[in-house]
Each structure stands twice: as structure tokens, then as C-alpha cells.
Amino acid sequence: MMNTESAVRTVDVRAAAASQALSETDPPRWIDEGDVVALVSLPEVIAAVRDAYLRAAAGEIVAMPKTFASWAGGTMHAIGATAVASGIAVSKTWAHTSGGATPLLAAWDADTGRLLAVIQAFALGQLRTSAITGTATALLAADGAQRLAVIGSGKQAEGQAAAVAAVRDIQDIAVYSPTAEHRESFAARISERSGVSARAATSVADALDQADVVVTVTRATEPFVSAPMLAERVHINAVGAITPERAELEPAVVARARRVVADDVAAARQLSPRELSATNAAHVLSLGSALAANERLDGEGVTIFKALGTGISDLAVAEMVLERAHAADVGRPLIVSSRTQPKLWSI
């Protein structure tokens, strides 16, 4: 289990180093998935994401509203943010279809508009999505939480489990997904990789029984977590329902919550209206504000973190990746041609 309080002290130094390194006239870099994985680790990203949301709460990071479009075959997304201290602006975009997705993040010098890098962003996105959950869990879950339930076994699920285990002393993990083969192989994989006891539950209710922390990371279109399934003291990270047609939590679960926190309150209202129908905007606190207040909720009750994904967390990872890529000369230079006047007249 990591110490986020001590780890986060390095972030201001990192931002300054990134600004100094990226102020040079180096050509923009292409940074691929392997580079990202080699340059940063999940505990470091959790610390950086926590710090980034605190900086956003202080007005030092500005996020652009999440943009979303859908069609019969998929969805398209765009998010971004800019930071005053590091002088970096980033934007990440991707189209999600039945064939998969290829997210890319572009980073620019916020003062000059110069392109700094293009980063393949699947690993970056998985790290930052996991880190948001770790950040929220460190704030909202009981200090003595030991039992984790993970509902879903897709590409994001293992990172979610790892992030919770990074901030709490998890001793038991129960996993559930509708396909028995998937949940059994997932439980075996995370048990082998983490050293933590993990089992495949027979149902959602079985997985949630006595769980201290719950992660839902599915593409479900009908809610499957009901209030009677939950322990008296439990923290829920609701990660999967990020488009209006999806839902994981029944309204009664949200109504029971003592505290509901979202990484982006406006986006949560827009993109998760079914889950948040039982509460109102005044009762949903932004993650940055919650971290700044450092309010610990002792005793019984339900806490919920609703994750949609924001450019703040992508910026946090990008700052670290860019600084380390330049320091270690990682990535390939991109050839950027000079500006060329287009043909505007037919004569």
C-alpha cells in the first residue's frame, strides 16, 4: 500500500522540471505505449492525479468540458486540460467501436502553441482511470478496508483492483462478471499477480457481501447494484457507466449515500442521469473540492465516487511522461512541416 501523502510531495518538483525540459526547442516526439509503460508506474500516477485535482481546485489547472457524440456503431470522445505551472496543454480523443479504440493524446506548449508530443494513450488512459479510483478510495473508503469487490472483468478491471490495493490493505478480492470463464480467469490472474486472495463470485450479491470497497466497471445498460446488497459501511467506485444509456447503480443506492463525489459534476449529470436521478447537483461534490476539504467520513454509511474521466488526470500523467521522456531521450522525433498556404482560388 502506497503512501500518497509523501509521494505527492514530488509532484511540484516534477511540474517545474517538465516546464524546464519542455521549454527547449526540441522537435515534437511520438511516444508509444511501450514508452509510457516504461516511464511511469501506477503508485506515481495516483500521487500525480491527486495533486492535479488539488491544483484544479485551486484554479491552477483548467479543464475543457468533455465532448461526446454517438452513432449506431460507437461513440467518440474528447477531453483536455491546461496547467499554469508546467505550461502544458493537452487534449485526448478517441472513437470507441465494436472493433476497439485507438486513443491519442496531443500536448502543446500553452504559451506558444508549439506541438510537444503525440502520445499513444491506451496505457496512459488505463493508468489515469485506475489512479482516479485510487485517489477517491484513499479519501472516501474506511481506513481499515480489507475486502474488495470488482464487478466486471474487462480491460480496465485489473487496474481498478490494483489502484484500490495501492491505497488500502486489501486482503480479499471477490470478482464477478456474467461469464463464468471470464470471472474465474480474472480472479486467478489478479491473485497470481498481486498475491492477494481472489475468488470468482457466483453473483453480484455474492461479490458484494461484506465488501468494504466496491468497483463497478462494466458496460451494463441496466443497473445491477441494489441497496440491500451493500454492507452498512461501504465505498463504491462507479466507473463503467460513462454514457447516458448505461447504468450500474440503482437510484436507491445513490439515495442512501452520505457523500457522492464526481471527478466532473457537470459531466456526471449529463452522461449518468439514470444513476444520479436520486440526488441533486448540490449533493454531488467535485473530487478536487473533496480533496481540498479533506473531509473524512467516519462511522457507518455509503460513499460513492462517480468517475467520468477528465482532462485533469490525463494532464497529470502527460506532464510526468513528457518530463521523463525528454530527460531520458525516449520517443521518436516527429517531422513537422512548415506552414503552407492552401489553394483558395480556382484560377
**Rounded Cα–Cα distance for residues 223 and 226 (Å):** 8
Residues 191 and 293 in one domain: yes
Residue among 310, 257, 302 nearest 286 (CA)? 310
pLDDT value for 69: 92
Nearest to 133 by CA among 286, 275, 238, 288: 238
Distance CA 132, CA 324 (A): 21
Domain harbouring 161, CATH code: 3.40.50.720
Q: Do residues 270 and 322 both lie within one domain?
A: no
In a domain, 14, yes or no: no
d(Cα 52, Cα 148) in Å, to the nearest integer?
26
Q: What is the domain count for the chain?
A: 2
- Residue 10 pLDDT: 47
Spatial CA neighbour of 215 closest among 187, 238, 245: 238
Which residues constitute the domain of residue 50?
21-126+311-333
Compute how many other C-beta atoms are within 10 angstroms of the C-beta atom of residue 239.
Answer: 28
Quick check: 124 and 321 in contact, CB under 8 A?
Answer: yes
Grid cell at residue 122: 491506451
pLDDT of 9 reads: 42
pLDDT of residue 6: 46
Q: Are 163 and 260 in the same domain?
A: yes
Please report whether residue 344 resides in a domain: no
Rounded CA-CA distance 306/261 in Å is 6
Interstrand relation of 74-83 and 88-97 (parallel, antiparallel or unpaired): antiparallel
- CA dihedral over 290, 294, 297, 303, signed as positive or negative: positive
Residue 266 is predicted with a pLDDT of 84
To the nearest 10°, the Cα dihedral for 312, 313, 317, 319? 10
Q: Residue by residue, what is the 3-state secondary structure of 108-158?
A: EECCCCCEEEEEECHHHHHHHHHHHHHHHHHHHCCCCCCEEEEECCCCCHH
| CA neighbours closer than 13 Å in the CB half-sphere of residue 93 | 10
* Pair 176, 316 in one domain: no
Instruction: Per residue of the chain (347 residues), give pLDDT as tens.
Output: 765 444 444 444 444 445 455 556 789 999 999 999 999 999 999 999 999 999 999 999 999 988 889 999 899 999 999 998 889 999 999 998 888 889 999 999 999 999 999 999 999 999 999 999 999 999 999 999 999 999 999 999 999 999 999 999 999 999 999 999 999 999 999 999 999 999 999 999 999 999 999 999 999 999 999 999 999 999 999 999 888 889 999 999 999 999 999 998 888 888 888 888 766 656 889 999 999 998 777 667 899 999 998 999 999 999 999 999 999 999 999 988 888 889 999 87
Q: Are residues 120 and 140 in the same domain?
A: no
Residue 6 included in any domain: no
Grid coordinates belonging to 108: 502543446
Contacts with 108 (C-beta within 8 Å, 6 or more apart), sequence order: 88, 89, 90, 114, 115, 116
Contact of 308 with 268, CB cutoff 8 Å: yes
Q: How do 104-109 and 115-120 pair as beta strands?
A: antiparallel
Please tell me the distance from the alpha carbon of residue 44 to that of residue 40, in angstroms, as a whole number.
7
pLDDT in the model for residue 22: 54
142 occurs within a structural domain? yes
Verify that 289 and 321 share a domain, yes or no: no
Same domain, 73 and 199: no
- Please indicate, yes or no, if residue 244 is contained in any of the structural domains: yes
* Residue-level pLDDT at 242: 82
